[in-house]
Structure 1
Amino acid sequence: MKRIIVIPSRLGSTRLKEKPLQLINGKPLVRWVAEGCLKTGEEVVLATDSERIAEVVQDLPIRIIFTPSDLPSGSDRTAYALKYVEADYVINYQGDEPFVYKEDVERLFCALDEYPVATLAIHDPTAYDNPSCVKVVLDENQNALYFSRSPIPYMKKHLSFYPLKHVGIYAFRRDVLMDFVRWEPSTLERLESLEQLRLLEKGVKIKVLLSSNYYHGVDTEEDLKLVAQKLTFYS
Structure 2
Amino acid sequence: MKIVCLIPARLESTRLPGKMLKKIGEYPVIVQTYLAAKKLNLFDDIWVVTENKEIGKAIEDLNGKVFYSTKPHNSGSDRIAEAAEAIEADVIVNVQGDTPLIYKESMIKLLDCFRNNSTIRVDLASLMTKLDETENANDSNIVKVVVDNNDFALYFSRSPIPFSKNNEVDINYYKHIGVYVFRKEALLNFYNSPQTPLEKVESIECLRYLEIGKKIKMVYTDEFTLEIDTNKDLVNAITYFKNN
**Alignment TM-score, normalising by the size of structure 2:** 0.90
Q: Which moved more, 1:117-126 or 1:52-61?
A: 52-61
Deviations 1:94-113 (A, max 9, x none): 10111111121222122124
CA distance in 1, matches of 2:16, 2:30: 14
Deviations 1:68-101 (A, max 9, x none): 2612211111111113321100111110111111
- For 2:23, the aligned partner's letter is L
Aligned-pair CA distance for 1:20: 0.6
The match for 2:217 among 174, 186, 207 is: 207
CA distance in 2, matches of 1:80, 1:62: 19
Aligned-pair CA distance for 1:233: 4.1
The match for 2:185 among 175, 181, 188 is: 175
CA distance in 1, matches of 2:55, 2:153: 33
Percent identical across equivalent pairs?
35
The match for 1:190 among 197, 200, 207 is: 200
SS of corresponding position for 1:112: helix
Unaligned runs of 5+ residues in structure 2 are 116-120
The match for 2:76 among 74, 77, 80 is: 74
Cα 1:223–1:146 shift into 2, 3 Å = same
The match for 2:50 among 48, 51, 56 is: 48
Unaligned runs of 5+ residues in structure 1 are none
**RMSD over aligned Cα atoms:** 1.6
- For 1:78, the aligned partner's letter is I
SS of corresponding position for 1:92: strand
Aligned-pair CA distance for 1:158: 5.3
Aligned-pair CA distance for 1:159: 3.3
Q: Does 1:115 align with 2:101?
A: no
**Alignment TM-score, normalising by the size of structure 1:** 0.93
CA distance in 1, matches of 2:123, 2:228: 27
Aligned-pair CA distance for 1:56: 1.4
Q: Does 1:57 align with 2:68?
A: no
Aligned-pair CA distance for 1:54: 1.4
CA distance in 2, matches of 1:142, 1:5: 24
CA distance in 2, matches of 1:186, 1:81: 22
Cα 1:157–1:214 shift into 2, 3 Å = farther
Superposition pairs of residues 1-235 of structure 1, within 5 angstroms: 1-41=1-41, 42=43, 43-68=45-70, 70-113=72-115, 114-125=121-132, 126-155=135-164, 156-157=167-168, 159=170, 162-234=172-244
Deviations 1:182-216 (A, max 9, x none): 11111111111111111112221100000111113
CA distance in 1, matches of 2:234, 2:192: 34
**Mapped contact 1:122–1:164 kept (Cα < 8 A):** yes
CA distance in 1, matches of 2:168, 2:241: 35
**Mapped contact 2:196–2:208 kept (Cα < 8 A):** yes
CA distance in 1, matches of 2:221, 2:207: 21
**Mapped contact 1:127–1:165 kept (Cα < 8 A):** no
